[in-house]
Amino acid sequence: MALQFTDSNFQETALSGGVSVVDFWAEWCGPCRLIGPIIDDLATSYEGRVNIGKVNVDENPEISLKYGIRSIPTILIIKDGEVVDKQVGVTTKAALDAKIAAHL
């Protein structure tokens, strides 16, 4: 299951080093609901190697603003605290898997 990143825990969880995958989403977003199960599957596949989690943009405006999130779903791949890849909109599990693997 994916982690729940928030304004208060983002620094310790998503930026703690290594690779993190951050899914910016909202309850009311249809495409976000399509990506959700993919993020959960990837979290299981990469458990212990990659921090994979979700940020609810409605509940965590500081992180959303910091990263300039204007459309959701937006998925950021962060390596050692820096954004190294970005996916805006719906995509496939295979495409996300390839993006993650490229940064390990």
pTM score, whole prediction: 0.95
Q: Give me 15's structure tokens.
A: 């930026």
Q: What is the CATH number of the domain that holds 78?
A: 3.40.30.10
Which amino acid is residue 72, in one-letter code? I
Strand intervals (E) in the chain: 3-4, 19-25, 50-56, 74-79, 82-88
pLDDT, one tens digit per residue, over 76-89 is: 999 999 999 999 99
Tell me phi and psi for residue 73, to 5 degrees.
-75, 145
- Which residue's entry shows tokens 């719906």? 90
Residues with active-site annotation: 29, 32
What is the full per-residue pLDDT of the chain (104 aa) written as tens digits?
899 999 999 999 999 889 999 999 999 999 999 999 999 999 999 999 999 999 999 999 999 999 999 999 999 999 999 999 999 999 999 999 999 999 99
Q: Could you list the residue range(s) of the whole structural domain that residue 18 is in?
A: 3-101
Which region holds residue 47: left if phi is over 0, alpha if psi is between -120 and 50, else beta?
Answer: beta
- Domains in the chain: how many in total? 1
pLDDT at res. 24 = 98
Which amino acid is residue 77, in one-letter code? I
